[in-house]
Amino acid sequence: MIDSGEFSDSIESFRHPDFAYLFDVDGTLTEPEAKQVELPEIFDELARRLERRQPIGLNTGRSSEFIVEKILKPLEAHLTDATLLQRVFATGELGAVQITYGPQEERIEELDQTFRVPETIQSEVRALAEHSPYREVMFYDETKQTMASVELLPKEQLRGRTLDDFRAAQQTLIEDMRKILVAHDTEGKLNITSTRIATDIHHALAGKALGARKFLTFLEQKNIHPRRFLAFGDSQSDYEMYRGLRDAGARAHLVFVGDRELLREDLREEVIFSRERVDKGTLEFLVEQKL
């Protein structure tokens, strides 16, 4: 008989892991200013969970290139067993691109054309970003495939300009972007979203909830049925990924690592707040969590 207790336990944790994790990237896994993971222990914690067959998802507005370079490659290097990557899922550009691993643990990238911002709008935004006062504090993100994104310049290129200069320019950029959308009669079909580091035009149906649904579809296809989900984020928009999980019937919790005030007051009650902030808050929770 192979039906020993241990064997059925492992099948059980394989199909029904206790937890699945879905992480925002900027300011949740990465340090917001350095824009990369500064706490390598975060990768140790992710690897530990994968070893317990607990799936890991990433859900961000970032490009697939950013996700691969900043998160997936270092994570791959942290794993002694590459087959664990079968339980890793990433979605970028607010659900429009996704990365999973194939039978040989090769990365497979898929782009959902439905969510592509028309080329003409992308080039108008690119041209806009080349003018003052934008070019002094921002740049057009060429790695995005479906969105038109203008991002805060790296610190060393700001030449004495401050985050306040960026925020002021961001306000007029939003106005200019709105004019472009009106001129192309795309209002309602495309949205403008601003974060502390970027201003994006994206498809109205793209967003963190879409990314969350794609994670659920991935798990379904793998026949993995986690008992509970933990979503991690540092912005109001991350509430949507948690809602996306809940609305699909998943038992989910949101661990909020941003400043309390960044989350709408009426939503705060159902959320777990970390003591530390951003990446440190995520690590704190992962270290203290009873797996």
- H helix or E strand, kind and range, residue 23: strand 19-23
Smaller CB distance to Mg ion: residue 151 or 234?
A: 234
Task: Name the one range near Mg ion by CB under 5 A: 27-35, 151-159, 164-172, 240-248.
Answer: 27-35
CB of 23 to Mg ion, least distance (A): 9
Q: Does 27 bind Mg ion (CB under 5 A)?
A: yes
Residue 53 gets the label, from left (phi > 0), alpha (psi -120 to 50) or beta, of: left
Smaller CB distance to Mg ion: residue 26 or 45?
A: 26
CB-based contacts of 56: which residues, under 8 Å, 6+ apart? Answer: 20, 21, 23, 46, 49, 50, 87, 88, 89
User: How many residues lie near Mg ion (CB under 5 A)?
Assistant: 5
Smaller CB distance to Mg ion: residue 24 or 151?
A: 24
Smaller CB distance to Mg ion: residue 27 or 55?
A: 27
CB of 278 to Mg ion, least distance (A): 8
32 φ, ψ (degrees, to nearest 5)? -60, -40
| Single residue of 17, 24, 115, 180 touching Mg ion by CB under 5 A | 24
DSSP code, position 263: S
Task: Name the one range near Mg ion by CB under 5 A: 20-28, 40-48, 76-84, 242-250.
Answer: 20-28
- Rule CB under 5 A: which of 227-286 touch Mg ion? 234-235
Smaller CB distance to Mg ion: residue 124 or 238?
A: 238
> Cβ atoms within 10 A of the Cβ of 54, count?
21
In this structure, is the dihedral angle defined by the CA atoms of residues 238, 243, 249 and 250, taken in order, positive or negative? positive
Question: Do 38 and 44 contact (CB within 8 A), yes or no?
Answer: no
Question: Do 180 and 148 contact (CB within 8 A), yes or no?
Answer: no
- Rule CB under 5 A: which of 175-234 touch Mg ion? 234
Residues that bind Mg ion (CB under 5 A): 24, 26-27, 234-235
